[in-house]
Amino acid sequence: MATRDPSDRRRPHEDVPTAPRRAAGSIRLDVVATEAADFQVRVFVDDVEMTSRGAGLGMPPSKLFVPENRLVATAESRVVPIARCTCGVYGCGVTDVRIQREDDVVHWDWIGQTPTGHGATFSAARYDAEVARAGADHAWERPTDTAERLILTGTDRTRLADEGVKLRFAELVFDDPSTYRVVLQTTDNRYHVILHFPLRGRSPVDAVDEVLETLGAPPASWSATFHPSRRDVTGPPAMAGENWHR
């Protein structure tokens, strides 16, 4: 199963010296299906596909574009996962990119399994236009992907954090596609919390309002399943209500 939150992992070689950069004429971001029935964002620099040359498989678009577009370049550099192992897991194979805006250009420096021996410098105008286009393109989405995007963007994450939980992802249950589930984690990383929503013949998109209403209520009112992340943790999370079960 693919790692759902690569930001939780320590990135290898993040502090290595920056390799030389070369001016790049273009960048293109394409969302395509994978053999594992999910999606990847393939990155082309000057029409050369970089993700397969790196760790092997592009990142899921939900990890790059939702709830915010992580490829947007600012004056403050940021490190963003850009490729994962061909098995689908970000961790056994890792390519990251350090992104930084400088005046009218954007720099990319590769980290981890690098696809090339040099970084790239893009025209900021061309880079911004392509990143905005890719982030706004939802044509590839299945109903479950649309539902996840609406849930991730429509949830008050600050309020959830104040309650002690953070939203991870939402998806159809693999062996029960009649059920949609939302997976959260406590902010102390001691528990995974799962909410199940029977679809009853509905599309996942039709369940979004119910999901958002539930997430907007106090966690103690949820009907939830919790799973400790460590063997020495036995009791329920502090915010658990009477309808929480292990």
Q: Looking at residues 98-108, what average pLDDT do you find?
A: 97
Residue 16: the pLDDT is 52
Q: Looking at residues 84-110, what average pLDDT do you find?
A: 95
Mean per-residue pLDDT over the chain, rounded: 92
C-alpha distances out from residue 185 to 58, 75, 236, Å: 25, 31, 13
Q: Looking at residues 210-219, what average pLDDT do you find?
A: 98
Whether the pLDDT of residue 4 is over 90: the answer is no
Residue 12: the pLDDT is 45
Residue 189: the pLDDT is 94
Percent residues over pLDDT 90 in the chain: 86
Residue 18: the pLDDT is 66
Residue 186: the pLDDT is 97
131, containing H or E segment:
helix 124-136
- For the chain, residues classed under CATH 3.30.160 are 143-245
Residue 218: the pLDDT is 97
Contacts for 110-115 with beta carbons within 8 Å, 24 or more apart?
110/19, 110/54, 111/11, 111/12, 111/13, 111/14, 111/16, 111/79, 112/11, 112/12, 112/13, 112/54, 112/55, 113/54, 113/55, 113/83, 114/19, 114/54, 115/50, 115/51, 115/53, 115/54, 115/83
- Environment class of 236 (CB within 10 Å of its CB; exposed 0-12, middle 13-18, buried 19+): middle
Structure confidence by residue, pLDDT tens digits, 149-180: 999 999 999 999 999 999 999 999 989 999 99
Structure confidence by residue, pLDDT tens digits, 64-79: 999 999 999 999 999 9
Under the banding of pLDDT at 50, 70 and 90, the label for residue 143 is very high
Under the banding of pLDDT at 50, 70 and 90, the label for residue 3 is very low
Structure confidence by residue, pLDDT tens digits, 5-47: 554 444 444 455 468 999 999 999 999 999 887 999 999 999 9
- Taking the domain 143-245, which CATH number applies? 3.30.160
pTM: 0.87
Residue 6: the pLDDT is 56
